[in-house]
């Protein structure tokens, strides 16, 4: 049996603003849109962005813990996010000496 990543689904009160955030700040592209739902390509990772789905019976919650993205321009990205008023939660070093930054999305 084989598996491969299909998508990550983000649920938000404002799908359009959330999609715009990923496009403007992280270089995602919108690959499709239907009503208030968006599908994005975030450098090979498919993101679905929507409000709560009325047809879904199981409990729904907003958001996700985090998405990990690698970049060779971390300092430039952090500066860009700060310039846009995006809240930086933490800048730290993790195992292996890799620098990381956690920031708040919509």
pLDDT in tens, 13-29: 999 999 999 999 999 99
Output the pLDDT for position 65.
66
How much is the average pLDDT of 56-84? 85
Q: Where are the alpha helices (DSSP H) in 1-106?
A: 15-26, 74-83
pLDDT at 3 exceeding the cut of 70: no
How much is the average pLDDT of 42-55? 90
How much is the average pLDDT of 56-68? 79
pLDDT in tens, 75-89: 999 999 999 999 998
Given a contact cutoff of 8 angstroms between Cβ atoms, the answer to whether 58 and 67 are in contact is no
| Those residues with Cβ within 8 angstroms of residue 68's Cβ, 6 or more apart along the chain or in another chain | none
Is 73 in a helix, a strand, or coil?
coil
How much is the average pLDDT of 71-100? 90
Question: 61 pLDDT band (50/70/90 cuts)?
Answer: confident
Q: Which strands make up the sheet holding 45-50, listed edge to edge?
A: 8-11, 45-50, 37-42, 29-34
């Amino acid at each position: 049996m084989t598996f491969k990543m299909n998508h990550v689904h983000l649920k938000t009160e404002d799908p359009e603003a959330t999609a715009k955030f990923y496009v403007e700040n992280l270089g995602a592209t919108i690959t499709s849109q239907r009503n208030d739902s968006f599908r994005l390509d975030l450098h090979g990772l498919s993101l679905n962005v929507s409000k709560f789905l009325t047809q879904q019976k199981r409990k729904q919650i907003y958001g996700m813990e985090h998405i990990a993205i690698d970049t060779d321009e971390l300092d430039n990205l952090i500066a860009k996010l700060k310039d846009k008023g995006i809240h930086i939660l933490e800048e730290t070093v993790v195992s292996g000496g890799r620098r990381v930054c956690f920031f708040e999305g919509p």
